[in-house]
Homo-oligomer: A and B are copies of this chain.
């Protein structure tokens, strides 16, 4: 593990893989020395044989700073809390949720539940798909305010639209929320150039298929780490 790394690997298994947890463990073994954390989404969660099998994966990455369940939660608070309890038990320590579900009866209760359980709330403020402009980008300020009010540790904004990241960075700096992290998915496969999100104000880049579907995940992650170091040297002076 490198705590200075800005790389989070999204473990989304391809369709043709049968044993998704073994697939994920293999990626982890090849990349763990170069990343700050991993992210598990519904494709892996649904195809694993329950939380028991997933706990093997969580044990393997238990030293890492970020063990994210990328559920993109968007439900009433009771249901979100009910869904994540078994995931906290096996070692996830951060959860993504949409800011658009609002505060009361939703993010408020989720945020305080996560705080009580030493876990991080990561709020989705914008998304990488073209349709992300239909709503998200129009209400960046308001979504950010709801997320911060709920105690978010980090905010998600897409590497595919660097101007959104710049705007978000400006907004949170201006509001005095400099401690809030920005996480950027959409690097590589979806079109974001590695390092570009960091240049534009993100703290972490979330990278999935670009690493996990390459013939040599370790080489790719090492190359991205090298690019990131260059960018950080340049940006931070």
Are A132 and B105 also in contact (CB < 8 A) when A41-B75, A75-B42 are? yes
Q: Mark A66-108, 1 if CB is under 8 A from B, else 0.
A: 0000011111110100110111000000000010111111111
Let me know if A175 is at the binding interface, CB within 8 A: no
CB-defined contacts of A105 to chain B, threshold 8 Å: 128-132
CB-defined contacts of A135 to chain B, threshold 8 Å: 100-102, 139, 142
Are A51 and B41 touching (Cβ within 8 A)? no
Are A46 and B131 touching (Cβ within 8 A)? no
Let me know if A52 is at the binding interface, CB within 8 A: yes
Are A52 and B49 touching (Cβ within 8 A)? yes
Let me know if A148 is at the binding interface, CB within 8 A: no
Are A43 and B102 touching (Cβ within 8 A)? no
Are A77 and B139 also in contact (CB < 8 A) when A12-B82, A52-B49, A71-B42 are? no
Bound-complex Cα distance A211 to B137 (A): 40
Interface of chain A: mostly helix, strand, loop or mixed: helix
Bound-complex Cα distance A190 to B71 (A): 23
Q: Which 9 A-B pairs have the closest CB atoms?
A: A102-B131, A105-B129, A102-B134, A49-B50, A42-B83, A104-B130, A43-B82, A104-B131, A106-B131
Are B127 and A101 touching (Cβ within 8 A)? yes
Q: Mark A34-70, 1 if CB is under 8 A from B, else 0.
A: 0000000111011111111100000000000000000
Are B82 and A15 touching (Cβ within 8 A)? yes
Output the least CB separation between A81 and chain B (Å). Answer: 9
